[in-house]
Amino acid sequence: MDVPLTRTAYEDPATRRAWRRTATFRLSAFVFSLASFVAWLYAVLLTPVWTLWILFPALFVLIYLAMLSTARVMGIRSLRRVLKIYPWQSVPGAASIAKNGTTRFSFTDPERPDRTVSLGYGSFPGSGRTFWVRKVRSGEVGEVWFAGDPRFLGVVAVPGPRRLFGVAQRTAVDDRMSARTRGVSPEARERAKAAGARVG
């Protein structure tokens, strides 16, 4: 499938639909995670005391899932922000499995074509069951679409686009680390800043 030839990815109607689908799914998962706490409490109140041996560990799983869905909901606006700055580019063979079992995406450095920059995904508990880790591991992902600057952050998608998710260098999002300053032009730095990245 051909990449849309728009100035930014978000100008493409299919991309806007994909973003809305992603937002709807993440918001639904968030609401479901909140409802699961109510169901857990209901189960605790209506079942015998001995069932707490089963229900109490389930609470920790529910808390983790709620935290995960909260983080994903918080990332919805970030996805759109990136898509409004950068265009899509098609990158065959970008996805691979790293030694630690996570998915690694390798993209060409925009200002040094002889170098590649890697972005990781799937280092959180339970990520082995996610679409990207499963499909890359099985070799079903040959081409990805990427919007962003791999030195900072971006959005990866299955061609179409489908299955949008954000990737970022830790230096671009973590206040405890020094922001990247070397090897980046002023224009690239401004675009990354507009997309929500920390820049030096």
Distance CA 10, CA 17 (A): 9
Q: What pTM value is reported for the model?
A: 0.84
Half-sphere exposure of 39 (CA within 13 A, CB side): 8
Where is pLDDT greater, at 55 or 31?
31
Where is pLDDT greater, at 52 or 18?
18
pLDDT at 130: 73
Query: 112-121 and 143-149: which strand pairing?
Result: unpaired
103-124 pLDDT, tens digit each: 889 999 998 889 999 888 766 5
